[in-house]
Amino acid sequence: MSFDLRAALELLFNQLQMYSDMKQKNNKKAIANKIKKWLQVIGQLNNGNFILAIPTNRLRSIKSLIHNQTTAEQFALHVTQKVQQKMYETERYKEFPPQEWLTHLSFVSDAIAKMEGYLADPTDEKKQSLWELLIKINSLQSDHYFKIHWKTISCVCSGYLLKLDYALRCFVEQDCPYWAYKLARVYVGCYEPRYGSGLIPSSIPMLIEVAEFWCNYYFDCSLSQKFPQEFLAIRQSSI
């Protein structure tokens, strides 16, 4: 009798393991499909006949990739580091006085240090420090709003600080998937008069960076390794 019970338990364990493996495999396949769709968008943006911006809501699937706060925080840190890199590569915008531009750079550097510190050792005190930095950033942004048709538009003084605002909210707000999605939209979305606002050819580098992050996060490999055919098609379409 005991032998039969042991055999039944072993059978049940094996079935549960098979179910778990199958579920994990299906989840990985779903994630791969989401990343693949972004690569398809990149192919559209590379098309020489491209004429109208693609809505940034194509990035909405990011929300389903975030299963906990830490995932959102790691993505936010990654994007903030990319923002800092682009700021260093860009000459000071003429709209900003030299001291104000240096202040913006300082805020980004400070945010990265605080984010890294929190991820290494999350404490209430460090989260409060992130909140305080967010408040300081908001004090520099304009609080002017105006309506265009049915939408209410907020006027901000710095797109860099707006990205930093959303990145910090991934650490301090409860609805972190929502803020990670908002962060991705403002990071990848661009505007040019001939295309409009949204995903346009100049969005390609940032969209690749976002896709690369999630590919490394879930599959521990690069886009070119995970999706060789799709990546090759993108390179060929850009020639």
Reported as a single tens digit per residue, the pLDDT across 127-180 is 999 999 999 998 887 654 445 455 554 555 688 999 999 999 999 999 999 999
Chain-wide mean pLDDT for the chain? Answer: 85
Instruction: With a cut of 70, say whether residue 238 has pLDDT above it.
Output: no
* 25 in any annotated domain: no
Residue-wise pLDDT tens digits, 47-82: 878 899 999 999 999 999 999 999 999 999 999 999
pLDDT at residue 79, as a whole number: 98
* 24 in any annotated domain: no
Q: Name which residue leads in pLDDT, 223 or 143.
A: 223
* 142 in any annotated domain: yes
- Work out whether the CA dihedral 19, 24, 26, 27 comes out positive or negative: positive
* 7 in any annotated domain: no
Residues 141, 144, 150, 151: what is their CA dihedral angle, to the nearest 10 degrees? 0
* 68 in any annotated domain: yes
Can you give the residue range of the structural domain that contains 214? 35-237
**Rounded distance between C-alpha atoms, residue 44 and residue 1, angstroms:** 64
* 8 in any annotated domain: no
* 125 in any annotated domain: yes
pLDDT at residue 89, as a whole number: 85
- Mean pLDDT of the region 80-97: 82
Q: Please tell me which of 3-12, 166-175, 225-234 the model is most confident about, judged by mean pLDDT.
A: 166-175
Domain count along the chain: 1
* 136 in any annotated domain: yes
